[in-house]
Amino acid sequence: MDALSAVGSAGEMGFVLRGFVAGLLASLACGLGAIPVAFRGLRLEERIGLAYAFAGGLMFAAAFYNLLMPALTMGGDSASRLLPVAKTLAGMGLGAAFLWAVDGWLTPDRLASSVFRSVGGRQGTLIFLAMAFHSIPEGIAVGVGYGSEAHVGCDGGLGTYIAIAIGIHNIPEGLAVALPLRLGGASLGRCFLLAFLTSLPQPIAAVPAAWLVWLAEPLMLPLLGFAAGAMIYLVLLELIPDALKRHDPPEIAWSFLAGFGLMVLVQVAL
């Protein structure tokens, strides 16, 4: 029995390690989203508002398709669907409330510190936090995928498929992080680093999720809602108002729709 337990533990450890590595690679894909901001031909400085609206469209689509839609379709039959929806909406409200509280806490004195200046001040800090929280349920999804292969016996590379899908999604999400940072004067290297760091919770969250599938799965709904609420609140609080100060509303609407459409195409392509 001891030998069988050791083999089982070693097998579980292998799935956990694979989940961590897959989550880490998905995080690096987020950093790749910063590459387009290196091209001077985009002339971002002349199109700040359009870039903000485009990033807002990317984030809004990610919140809707990658977070809210999976949460609202996860678990429960038609008779018991209300509870999952309530959990998701409660998490959504908490996510928006959290970002609202952080925004109030970021006084000018606190923003003057080198820590907050390094992530782009008030707006950069809010973007960083919202996207970091967005990465936690994605990391849990990767971990649960690999953990299900170990504990439930699922085959077909479920964990690998989830990690690849999230990695592809992370590229335009990294662009959404990098655009406002670049417009704020951040270097290309800093844009890449911060885009990568916003996705670093993925491999960290994947490890306990792979080990504790039974615990991670019930947490998914409120976490998905929390991340979606934070991102939507950020788009409405920061990106769209800033964009409207710099360009005409029709231009902002088209740019937002372009970002939204790009993320939808990525989603459908998978």
Provide the Cα torsion 124, 126, 132, 134; round to 10°.
-130
Tokens representing 6?
A: 């050791």
Closest CA to 88 of 225, 207, 203: 225
Burial code of 232-247, b = ≥16 C-beta within 10 A, e = fewer? Answer: bbbbebbbbebbbeeb
Q: Which residue has the tokens 């769209």?
A: 240
Confidence of residue 41 (pLDDT cuts 50, 70, 90): low
As a whole number of angstroms, the distance between CA 88 and CA 155 comes to 29
As a whole number of angstroms, the distance between CA 199 and CA 169 comes to 11
What are the tens digits of pLDDT across the range 67-117? 888 888 775 555 567 888 888 899 999 999 998 998 888 887 777 776 677
Confidence of residue 4 (pLDDT cuts 50, 70, 90): very low
As a whole number of angstroms, the distance between CA 115 and CA 192 comes to 17
Mean pLDDT score, 244-249: 89
What are the tens digits of pLDDT across the range 112-158? 776 677 666 777 788 888 888 888 888 888 877 777 665 554 555 66
Question: Does residue 161 or residue 97 have the better pLDDT?
Answer: 97
* Reported pTM: 0.76
Per the CB < 8 A criterion, the answer to whether 37 and 175 are in contact is yes
Question: Does residue 182 or residue 9 have the better pLDDT?
Answer: 182
As a whole number of angstroms, the distance between CA 194 and CA 30 comes to 9
Type of residue found at 144: V
As a whole number of angstroms, the distance between CA 260 and CA 56 comes to 8
**In the 8-state DSSP scheme, what is residue 67?**
I
As a whole number of angstroms, the distance between CA 37 and CA 25 comes to 21
Per the CB < 8 A criterion, the answer to whether 149 and 159 are in contact is yes
DSSP secondary structure letters along 147-210: HHHHHT---S-HHHHHHHHHHHHHHHHHHHHHHHHHHTT--HHHHHHHHHHHTTHHHHHHHHHH
Question: Both ends of the chain: CA-CA distance in Å?
Answer: 43
Q: How many residues belong to the chain?
A: 270
As a whole number of angstroms, the distance between CA 7 and CA 217 comes to 25
